[in-house]
Structure 1
């Protein structure tokens, strides 16, 4: 709901309401499963729930996972955080969905083989859907499931 305000000149101005509480703006991607976001105030870290991407320093797969996430989440994009919880280290865990979309980025990364389902975590996400997406990515040999050069 927007409100009608008067500007300094007395002309009416339509006030823009703030976004819903769970909508935040992407600041930057840190790695294949951690981003920095801001609602309007202080930025904070959010880790993508439900998945386990390759780590950055361990392999080129980590760099590929980060690049895939950066391609899906441009700085300045509005996203909705849902199925939120806290990790043991205090970082927020969430499914992250671009505003206007119905598919979480978390699931998209699993679908294209850039992350695996995290079976160890007590996850608020629909494990069945993520598992099916992982199985399809494996069957199609996408991303992490692509054979290494020199193997068949």
Structure 2
């Protein structure tokens, strides 16, 4: 840290200013990356409070870390949940699972909210997306869903 501060001290910055900036940068990279990986791994059940608690930081500080990247924690989690839904809708291994089961699995209990968010993000409804990517494998209407 001292070498880093010394290198920048000649640019009109004080040692303390440079150290604080470097610590903040390292902290944001470390905790922001950890929070993001935690959110991706358990994105269906995760909340900002759960992420903050797992990394021994306050919820407010977690929000500050994401704000530096012009994101919100909730927005990031929603993006990740939508991406997981999109991936499963296109994956033939999940063709027997209904759209409703997939959306519920990834934390979207309301079909209308999920449908609007999916269409806003990907330009088509979840059902249409599935038809385009594995339509020949999707369960027929009225067939009970046996996938759990």
**TM-score, normalised by the number of residues in structure 1:** 0.35
Q: Answer 1 or 2: which has greater helix percent.
A: 2
**TM-score, normalised by the number of residues in structure 2:** 0.35
Q: Answer 1 or 2: which has greater strand percent.
A: 1
Please say which structure displays the higher CA radius of gyration. Answer: 2
